[in-house]
Structure 1
């Protein structure tokens, strides 16, 4: 059975080299990228977040929520006696002025520094990688940042990509301090419906037969039934996730988004291979239906899941310009 799901938009960047006689630590990586680490203990559970290090306390916060997959935030590689440090997120934080700080909260169990090629996904990731726990992590982190690291807070901006978009939509219904939400390339409807839709699209394109599409979809429906029958299982399935993870996302992000009254910036690519653009158009339709005017709906024409565009000379990324437009949008909306 062929299935489709929202994949992580992974940024991997590296910075200067260190001598091998240095011992790689998370502090080395944080120093290289000008971030700090904070840890909060909640009911014997340690929640970690990484925050852009600023000289003075800013008034605005931007929080990025990663997409699917158990990737770390920081890693390193040893090559020919040198240590190279990597970050698994993009340059967005670099484009922000001194009135902003930028935070990213690692997936459960994926905090700290990892050696490239030796990244082992811990058991805690599978046990805690579900919507309610991710909301808890980010909610607690935002509240801590506001209390400890901001001065006269103004904008609390959250934007999530792919799975992170779905998390952000649910989070914003709980954390009332969030002032702006970015919903980037997230599934609008239930994952299992969108998996089925992709099969129908393949059939229409002649990539698979009508019968094959139908059989695939019936298999997806049976898969969904098995998840519902055992929703708290943390056994790893054929895709690398658990029933607990799948069942926690059963409510469609569309239902969370239409509950919100804060400004929402929804962004999609028309050539997205992970999130069907066909369901994206339900967002403006539903907001009109509910007489709500807090949605800004943007589409990157011919762009893929990560806003890359195929050209005659390769791919061109539109991510950076989309982020700048997003931040400018927050200045114009309340």
Structure 2
């Protein structure tokens, strides 16, 4: 994920628009999930969700680490005479995975499963994009969210579920999308119980590099002068130095996130973690991705070739954007990749 806050309804799924406001699916059970909570002195309240299809059976684990931002997994927009549900939960992925694995997803710190956004507009005039973009993240999210929180919380969830007898002792696959794609390499290094890593449109190099390279590309295309690009990069580097000098600050923010969040990811470039792993790794990247530019991800493949490592499957989605969509295609490529992920895990 590039280091500017990006919120897009392309990553949300409209479930229903209805006059019957009492019938909205706003609870985990409405989405085929069971909610669990764990309390930790340092991490606070950890909310996580497990699909209910085969919840009484022992199965392998498939843990989704989702993208950036403090949005709930479910958002209910309530207006004049209507209600709309939007999901940041990947329902398509869950549907494919839950037959063979326990599908598990964590909520963000300080964030409920579902939250309500109210508007005075009616169904014809409300702007869902704007309403969701203006959603204020919780104080708990702002205070807690970091790479370290996501790794530590996920480890505790795995431990709990194993102790409660949900695991069959075989596979534990860690799937990360966007920001989650940066988390799962660190998670797998920190937790040796992880057997497979799937990183989708994450990052390869230090994510601050994306912004620097973006200015170089603009200059190369003639959109700005070389001097304008250099001046902008100098400004960015000054801010980056300030972030590293204040790595624990939750009051200072940049691009919609705290310094604490930025520093935690900036100190752990994904390629450095990935090359430490000897378990199977599946990376899906998008060649037209502006949020997670491919040039930083291509470096991972280059580094694995240099090291002679054979455990990386690297698959570019040619012409695809950050959501694995092709602008001129009739359907998303996401469904195809969900099937590919399941097939890869079955090997």
Same fold (TM over 0.5): yes
- Could you say what secondary structure the match of 1:116 adopts? strand
The 1-side partners of 2:60 and 2:16 are apart by 26
The 2-side partners of 1:239 and 1:115 are apart by 25
1:170 aligns with 2:186: yes
- Could you say what secondary structure the match of 1:281 adopts? helix
- Could you say what secondary structure the match of 2:278 adopts? coil
- Could you say what secondary structure the match of 2:331 adopts? strand
Question: 1:45-99 deviations in whole A, cap 9, x for unaligned?
Answer: 2211011112431412211111122211122233565655443222111113533
The 1-side partners of 2:16 and 2:161 are apart by 26
The 8 Å contact of residues 13 and 88 in structure 1, kept in 2 or not, is answered as no
1:68-87 paired onto structure 2 within 5 Å:
68-78=68-78, 84-87=84-87
1:180 aligns with 2:178: no
The 2-side partners of 1:141 and 1:181 are apart by 17
1:298 corresponds in structure 2 to: 315
- Could you say what secondary structure the match of 1:308 adopts? coil
Return the TM-score normalized by structure 2.
Answer: 0.86
How far has the Cα of 1:29 moved from its partner?
A: 2.1
Specify which of 302, 306, 319 is matched with residue 334 of structure 2.
319
How far has the Cα of 1:208 moved from its partner?
A: 1.7
Question: 1:73-129 deviations in whole A, cap 9, x for unaligned?
Answer: 122233565655443222111113533221111111112320035843211111111
The 8 Å contact of residues 71 and 110 in structure 1, kept in 2 or not, is answered as yes
Runs (4+) of structure 1 exceeding 6 A deviation are none
The 8 Å contact of residues 160 and 182 in structure 1, kept in 2 or not, is answered as yes
The 2-side partners of 1:64 and 1:97 are apart by 12
1:161 corresponds in structure 2 to: 177
Pair 326,155 (structure 1): closer, same or farther in 2 beyond 3 Å:
same
1:255 corresponds in structure 2 to: 272
Return the TM-score normalized by structure 1.
Answer: 0.89
The 8 Å contact of residues 53 and 98 in structure 2, kept in 1 or not, is answered as no
The 8 Å contact of residues 199 and 217 in structure 1, kept in 2 or not, is answered as yes
The 2-side partners of 1:18 and 1:29 are apart by 18
How far has the Cα of 1:258 moved from its partner?
A: 0.6
1:258-297 paired onto structure 2 within 5 Å:
258-297=275-314
1:117-132 paired onto structure 2 within 5 Å:
117=118, 119-132=135-148
1:32 aligns with 2:33: no
1:14 corresponds in structure 2 to: 15
The 8 Å contact of residues 66 and 176 in structure 2, kept in 1 or not, is answered as yes
2:262 corresponds in structure 1 to: 246
1:24-173 paired onto structure 2 within 5 Å:
28-43=26-41, 45-55=44-54, 56-78=56-78, 84-90=84-90, 91-96=92-97, 98-117=99-118, 119-148=135-164, 150-173=166-189
The 1-side partners of 2:241 and 2:277 are apart by 30
Pair 129,72 (structure 1): closer, same or farther in 2 beyond 3 Å:
same
Unaligned runs of 5+ in 2: 119-130
The 1-side partners of 2:209 and 2:85 are apart by 40
The 2-side partners of 1:6 and 1:78 are apart by 25
The 8 Å contact of residues 28 and 113 in structure 2, kept in 1 or not, is answered as no
Unaligned runs of 5+ in 1: none
Pair 315,63 (structure 1): closer, same or farther in 2 beyond 3 Å:
same
The 8 Å contact of residues 17 and 85 in structure 1, kept in 2 or not, is answered as no
